[in-house]
Amino acid sequence: MSAGIYLHIPFCKSRCSYCDFATDVWRSSNAVERYVDAICSEVRNSKFEIRNLADTIYFGGGTPSLLNPAQIEKILNSVLSEFSVANECEITMEMNPATVTPESLAAYRALGVNRASFGVQTFDDRALKLLARGHDANDARLTFKMLRDAGFDNVSFDLIAGLPGQTLDVWQRNLAEAIAMSPEHLSLYLLEIHEGTPLAEQLRSNRQPQPDPELAAEMYEVMLDRLSAAGYKQYEISNFSKPGYESRHNSKYWTLDPVFGFGVSAHSFDGEQRYANERDTAKYVELIGNRASTENYRETIDIASEYVFLGLRLENGIDLRQYRERFGKDLLARYRDEIELLRDSGLVEIADDRIKLTRKGKLYSNEVFAVFV
């Protein structure tokens, strides 16, 4: 089973109002340089015995495209010096509009970055302001053109539905523009409100209209129809691609392949245990400097249970024969009552020795997954 390598770059130009990721507003280039040295050091002194060939590398954040090509090269070299990396490795970098230049994109490509995950979120300038994204829709259009000009032929857009005040009409225009730009992959999320974020506070104090779950559900349905008609295949609840452009790295999370994460707040799974690193960037760098462990969480997981709710995220669902072979148990017998209830409610379907979510089940997926946790 091949592995993925995840590298977390926490810096952003500013903090978006809905974000609860481990991010730091870019302060000084010295701090960034220290962080780059720290993550390289963590990779070089990895606690993981990684015997698997790595066939995906993923720079996530934060905004990895704030690092200059020399810094990306330094990190990539540390990975290449420690791990066996497949020749055809998928190397993804998350990028935000207005953080790259034609020169930096050409340099990333020359280093082997062959996939861009591009944080568009919406083409509506009013919503971009509300989200405090720090760029406008035109920046996204220009950056996408730069990506194409630099030769990026595997680009994913992130879009968010269900924003406060977003109408169905605005969402449809977003979808239409995204489809017209024809990226190879789309990740489309319903807005989640995280406690402690400025957006949560704005909603609590009624400074923004409350999200409407029924409208969000309608947006999801429209999205399924529009993307399918445009030739995108849904392969996971929130992910759509043209044929052959599924994210190899993200697919590892849903099929429980090992992923080894480095950097502040990075998560790892070695096939049995999950790990997470310290969430505070300054503390992470200090721990690395002191040669101390950066781990702040470790858990041995119930793989047979996670396999179910992660597998149900996938369009093809779970192969019941494979489940029997891997875990020596019959899934339908193990969860007989729960599955009967879900089937009666029209949330899952069973056919051809597979169980998968129905269209309605995708809308209520969190409720379905809760049954198996």
Based on CB atoms, which residue is closest to ligand SF4, 62 or 164?
62
Based on CB atoms, which residue is closest to ligand SF4, 3 or 72?
72
Q: For residue 219, count other CB atoms closer than 10 A to its CB.
A: 24
Least separation in angstroms between residue 62's CB and ligand SF4 is 5
Based on CB atoms, which residue is closest to ligand SF4, 96 or 122?
96
Q: Up-side HSE of residue 279: CA atoms within 13 Å toward CB?
A: 4
Residue of 5, 7, 16, 67 that binds ligand SF4 (CB under 6 A): 16
Report residue 232 CA to chain centroid gap: 18
Residue of 4, 62, 261, 361 that binds ligand SF4 (CB under 6 A): 62
Based on CB atoms, which residue is closest to ligand SF4, 65 or 71?
65
Least separation in angstroms between residue 11's CB and ligand SF4 is 8
Size of the site for ligand SF4 (CB under 6 A): 11
DSSP 8-state secondary structure symbol assigned to residue 24: E
Least separation in angstroms between residue 185's CB and ligand SF4 is 18
Stretch that binds ligand SF4, among 11-19, 203-211, 286-294, 326-334 (CB under 6 A): 11-19
Based on CB atoms, which residue is closest to ligand SF4, 19 or 312?
19
Least separation in angstroms between residue 252's CB and ligand SF4 is 21
- Verify binding: residue 140, ligand SF4, rule CB under 6 A: no
- Verify binding: residue 7, ligand SF4, rule CB under 6 A: no
Least separation in angstroms between residue 265's CB and ligand SF4 is 11
Residues 115-134, one symbol each (x = binds ligand SF4 by CB under 6 A, - = not), give ----x---------------
Q: What is the DSSP string of 123-192?
A: S-HHHHHHTT-SS-HHHHHHHHHHHHHTT---EEEEEEES-TT--HHHHHHHHHHHHHH--SEEEEEE--
Distance (Å) of CA 140 to CA 76, 100, 147, 243, 350 = 26, 11, 10, 24, 42
Residues 85-104 that bind ligand SF4 (CB under 6 A): 96
Q: Is 81 exposed, middle or buried, given 0-12, 13-18 or 19+ CB atoms closer than 10 A?
A: exposed
- Verify binding: residue 63, ligand SF4, rule CB under 6 A: yes
Report residue 183 CA to chain centroid gap: 16
- Verify binding: residue 173, ligand SF4, rule CB under 6 A: no
Structure tokens at 136: 């406008």
Residue 9 and residue 263 in contact, taking contact as beta carbons nearer than 8 Å = yes
Q: For residue 110, count other CB atoms closer than 10 A to its CB.
A: 12
| Cα(158)–Cα(63) distance, integer angstroms | 13
Least separation in angstroms between residue 18's CB and ligand SF4 is 7
The candidate with the shortest Cα–Cα distance to 8, out of 285, 341, 362, is 285
- Verify binding: residue 60, ligand SF4, rule CB under 6 A: no
- Verify binding: residue 15, ligand SF4, rule CB under 6 A: yes
Sign of CA dihedral 6, 7, 11, 12: negative
Binding site for ligand SF4 (CB under 6 A): 12, 15-16, 19, 21, 23, 61-63, 96, 119
